[in-house]
Amino acid sequence: MANELILIVEDNEKNRKLARDVLQFKGYRTIEAETGEDGVKLALEHKPDLILMDYQLPGINGIEAFRRIRGETSTATIPIIAVTASAMPEDARRMMDAGFDGFQTKPLNVKAFAQAVADVFSAEPPK
């Protein structure tokens, strides 16, 4: 465990830094994108082990970026966790209905965030 590559797609520099710092402290490698389009591009280029996708992004939003990533054979099975400032139950339901593998609200609860990431890598691989 650890050393996995995680793509952080987040337009807010402070949120991106917090996620990066927590993940790197836990031993993960990170790459970052500030827009949905760049997130899709980096996902296709690097095939990360996990993607953390903000919902509100400049350009395409997180759900559209998610759909594009999942629409490509080479990235279709990468786990993607939605990260959003909106904690409304209907927003969480919309993201989970879209197919996201998890949901984290901002501001990030560092302990819960780190555990959610660890849980992705400790889950049984699909058969």
In a domain, residue 127? The reply is: no
The pLDDT of residue 18 is above 60 = yes
How many domains are there within the chain?
A: 1
**Band of the pLDDT at 127, cuts 50, 70, 90?**
very low
In a domain, residue 126? The reply is: no
Global pTM value: 0.93
In a domain, residue 51? The reply is: yes
Q: What pLDDT is attached to residue 26?
A: 95
Rounded Cα–Cα distance for residues 56 and 127 (Å): 33
Please list, residue by residue across 20-40, b when 16 or more beta carbons sit within 10 angstroms of its beta carbon and e when fewer do: bebbeeeebebbbbbbbbbbb
Contacting residues for 105 by C-beta, under 8 A, at least 6 apart: 83, 84, 85, 86, 87
Q: List the end-to-end C-alpha distance of the chain, in Å, as a whole number.
A: 20
Q: Decide if 82 contacts 53 (C-beta within 8 A).
A: yes
Q: What pLDDT is attached to residue 8?
A: 98
In a domain, residue 19? The reply is: yes
Domain that holds residue 91: 5-121
Mean pLDDT calculated for residue range 7-36 = 97
Mean pLDDT calculated for residue range 96-111 = 90
Lookup: tokens for 49: 């082990």
In a domain, residue 26? The reply is: yes
Per-residue pLDDT tens over the stretch 36-66 = 999 999 999 999 999 999 988 999 999 999 9
CATH value at residue 39: 3.40.50.2300
In a domain, residue 28? The reply is: yes
